[in-house]
Chain A
Amino acid sequence: MGQTFLVLSAMMLLSLVVLQANGLILSKYSETYDMQATHEAVSLAEDRLDQATRKSFDEKALTKKIYNASEFTSVANLGPDPYESGIPQFDDLDDYDNTTETFSTPTVDNFTIVYTVDYVTVADPDAVSAVPTFFKRVKVSITNPSMSHAVVSSRVVVYRRYQ
């Protein structure tokens, strides 16, 4: 009786150890997928920022030189113009504000890319300005079901009024 009890206890202990080890292995797998998706998200973020920052600084600056920041699109009107139905039609940077794009790579599905565009202050590019300035920050936030955290990348674009 005593021996049976000892054997049962040993088996239970071993089962617990095996369960624990398998749990660790499983979590390692999800970390692997997280890492893969995160790597791809970084590449996508850089690519999207490259594309967005190539666009004109502002809708108003498409046709004339702006010397006073108050002439730029107001903060409330940042976002796509009424005639623009998607990113390929965007002609200036602030069109990207509050735009969401879904994208799948050949290896990872369902990336969600959210763009945010803000005017930032001259003194501190991290501080959002309530009024137009000559500095705009475009932020790209990328999420995926496999990722534990969003990949957020941003770039500040300067309007060169003296060129």
Chain B
Amino acid sequence: MNSMFDIISSSIIGSLLMLSIFAVGSNLSEVSYRNTFDYTVQLAVTDFSQTIEYDFNKIGYRAPKPSITAAESTGITFLSDITNTHTVATIRYYAGDETELPGTQNPHDLPLYKKVNNGTAVPSSYGLTYMKFRYYDSLGTQLTVPVTGGNLSKIKSIKVEAVVQSMMPVDSTYSSLYWERTFFPKNL
């Protein structure tokens, strides 16, 4: 009877110990995954911001006015001699739809398209889940989107807001990072 009691109690204690060891192991791997995803998201934000900053500061360079030809909350079309070859190009940036990236585990990520002249829109998958453009006049007053007609020439600054998330969740949470920047292109 005594040995039976010993066996049962040692089994219970052993199971508890194993459970705590597994829990620690699971937590450790969760932290490790989260760190990896955080790092990936930071890299994606850096990549995204470099792309946007490179092009947006050149809006209107050697281009006729109004240099911005379409201004919506999810997209912008502008003119610029972006390649510095005395050739004005029409460049359009716009965010796609959540359904356009079915290959990722994040149901909310959307592609960012860049289209130059009449070429094919090239999608980039930074893990964007939110992207918004805001437009301001010379007094800093926000213009109602879509900005149309004569108001297009009033645009003096553009604010870009974005949230980038990891492609996969860790324990149902996605690593996220918010980024915003207001551009004051010299040629507007």
Chain A residues with CB under 8 Å of chain B are: 7, 11, 14-15, 18, 21-22, 25, 28-29, 32, 35-36, 39-40, 43-44, 46-47, 50-51, 54, 88, 105-108
Contacts and interface: CB of A to CB of B under 8 A. Distances in A.
A22 B21 contact: no
A25 B31 contact: yes
B34 A32 contact: yes
A153 B27 CA distance: 36
The CB with the most chain B CB atoms within 10 A, among A15, A44, A47, is that of A47
B38 interface: yes
Contacts of B182: 47, 50-51
A11 B17 contact: yes
Given A11-B17, A18-B20, A18-B21, A43 B181 contact: yes
B31 A28 contact: yes
Contacts of A106: 130, 163, 176, 178
A105 B27 contact: no
B140 A39 contact: no
Interface in B174-188: 175-182, 184
B73 interface: no
B37 to A, nearest CB: 10
A39 B31 contact: no
Interface string B103-136: 0000000000000000000000000001000000
8 contacts: A14-B21, A18-B20, A25-B31, A36-B38, A39-B45, A40-B179, A88-B140, A105-B178
A117 B73 CA distance: 33
Given A47-B180, A107-B176, 6 more contacts: A18-B21, A25-B27, A36-B176, A51-B182, A54-B184, A88-B141
Given A39-B177, A50-B182, A21 B28 contact: yes
A36 B163 CA distance: 12
Nearest to B178: A105
A21 B31 CA distance: 12
Contacts of A14: 17, 20-21
B24 A21 contact: yes
B140 to A, nearest CB: 6
A19 to B, nearest CB: 10
B179 A32 contact: no
B144 interface: no
